[in-house]
Amino acid sequence: MKVAKRDRKSMLIRQIQFSIVFLLSLFAALAHASPALIPAPPSIAAKSYILMDGASGDIIIEDNANERLPPASLTKMMTAYITEYEIERGNINLKDEVLVSVKAWRTGGSKMFIKEGSRVPLVDLLRGIVIQSGNDASIAVAEHIAGSEGAFADIMNQHAGLLGMTDSHFQNATGLPMDEHYSSARDLALLAKAIIYNFPEQYPIYAEKYFTYNDIRQPNRNRLLWRDKSVDGLKTGHTEAAGYCMVASAVRDGMRLIAVVMGTSGEEARARETQKLLSFGFRYYDSVELYQAGQKLIDGRVWGGVIDNIPLGIADAVTVTIPKGQKENIQASVEMNPTIKAPVNIGDELGRIKVVLNDTTLVDKPLVALQAVDEAGFFKRIWDMIKLFFAQLFAGE
């Protein structure tokens, strides 16, 4: 009788334990499968806008992002970019003494207050462009690099083409209104990304709040530099035709976002609307680095080569932008060419890597050889071909 009671008690305990394990598994499965709950994007009072993940280049939200609009002083981002480009290549130097022309001195609008006939260090002019939004500084630099502002505009358009800025055309270095001088929110986000990642040595200038030249101290017009410690650039602009515009970038927990608003109603409005974009992106999205450049993902069998196996991977780093909490739901698959024969060169495409999140393809890139493989000697090649024949025979090929 006591044995029966103990058996029933043991069975009850096992049933309870099973129920607990089942419920925990069920809750875990539900948690794992739970969809990302993201509200509708905020309403942005601007003619056009875009929010980009700086690392991946993925667009989180946008509206009229390809519309061609007057960029006003956001134009100076391209002027600064070309300056940084030329510095990087050693064609000019931050210590260069730049001669100020009559044209640069006489230019109206926002000014650095440089004097005709004076020589100004290029590093000061770069700060005058970025921080003080100096039209005079922009023209002085354009003439220093290209000889004239018109020739510099040609260079601006060439760089726009290289950066994929398909909805931009520049006619001056300042952003002062001219027919057929335009850009778009998407293009300006691409330009901001290039400034940040291509020339990191110069980028800290964009976060400086004040610059003093000729005993005149001027503030950076980017109000978010005072309001949000994560913001570290980039540029503001305003003309009657363009309205109030802003390109801003911020970093939180290793994630960099780039926001562009064009055609807002005032200084406060452009700061407020830009902050809305940044806050939404950081709150609801993550930037996830999946693979580093040249990272080995799998080994491939090589037939007829001096070695039998070759490392395969992705040529460039891969970062994706996903809703928060969805990293564990990412799935990756590799498709490799069934037969790889020597010789193989570094970079040869030998398959594909696909990354999917909830039936949405995030990545579809070539799987490339990370090492070269030369052909083996005659007898090794013959022996490998015999083995390959039987391998394919038994595989039913």
Distance CA(115)–CA(194), nearest Å, equals 32
Residue 97, CB-side half-sphere exposure with 13 Å CA sphere: 3
Q: Of 48, 56, 76, 193, which one is the catalytic site residue?
A: 76
Kindly state the tokens that stand for 76: 């100076």
Q: Which of 73, 184, 249, 287 is catalytic?
A: 73
Burial 11-27 (b: 16+ CB within 10 A, else e): eeeeeeeeeeeeeeeee
- Verify cis geometry, omega within 30 degrees of 0, for the bond prior to 41: no
Q: How many CB atoms lie within 10 A of CB 91?
A: 9
Give the orientation angle of helix 75-88 with respect to helix 185-198, to 10 degrees.
30
Output DSSP code: residue 178. Answer: -
Q: Which of 382, 336, 395, 329 is nearest to 360 (CA)?
A: 329
Pick the closest to residue 62 from 301, 361, 262, 331 (CA basis): 262
d(CA 246, CA 72): 10
Q: Judge whether 73 counts as a catalytic residue.
A: yes
Active-site residue flag, 133? yes
Catalytic residue from among 101, 133, 183, 184: 133
Cβ atoms < 10 Å from Cβ of 369: 22
Look up residue 91 and give its DSSP letter: S
Q: In terms of Cα–Cα distance, which of 145, 138, 181, 183 is closest to 164?
A: 183
Known catalytic membership, residue 76:
yes
Measuring CA to CA, which residue among 330, 251, 326, 254 is closest to residue 290?
330
For tokens 């950066």, the residue is 163
Q: Which residues are catalytic?
A: 73, 76, 133
